[in-house]
Amino acid sequence: SAKTRQAALQSLRLALSSKTLSEFLLERRLTLTDSLEKCLKKGKGEEQALAGTVLTLLCLQMGSGPEGEEVFRSLKPLLVSVLTDGTASPAARQ
């Protein structure tokens, strides 16, 4: 459900903003990227905003190496789509 996904995204946001988990994330980046993509595509408002925040933290944790760039490049078109969608909530667009 949407509430469960939002709770999971909030937990991820807290974890990524308080601890360095780069090795853990390297092994699971495809799974996380896929889940965040689904939240950005199918989610509404708060879920999209949380997914965007978690994606930002994920890219920061991955660093400027090839893995971090791969994550960003794979989701950049979707982020631009949400940003330019006039019907998306202001929180999601922000």
Which domain range does residue 87 map to?
2-7+21-92
Q: Is residue 15 part of a domain?
A: no
What is the pLDDT, as a whole number, of residue 67? 86
Q: Is residue 43 part of a domain?
A: yes
What is the pLDDT, as a whole number, of residue 64? 81
Query: How many structural domains are present in the chain?
Result: 1
**Cα 71-74-77 angle, rounded to 5 deg:** 130
Q: Is residue 75 part of a domain?
A: yes
HSE (CB half, 13 Å, CA atoms) of 57? Answer: 22
Q: Is residue 65 part of a domain?
A: yes
Decide if pLDDT at 22 tops 90: no
Q: Note the pTM of the prediction, 2 decimals.
A: 0.87
pLDDT digits (tens, 9 = 90+) for 66-83: 888 998 999 999 999 999
Q: Is residue 88 part of a domain?
A: yes
For 23, the token pair is 């090795």
Q: Is residue 38 part of a domain?
A: yes
Q: Is residue 30 part of a domain?
A: yes
Decide if pLDDT at 51 tops 90: yes
Decide if pLDDT at 34 tops 90: yes
d(CA 67, CA 50): 22
Q: Is residue 29 part of a domain?
A: yes
Confidence class for position 47, pLDDT limits 50, 70, 90: very high
For 8, the token pair is 């999971």
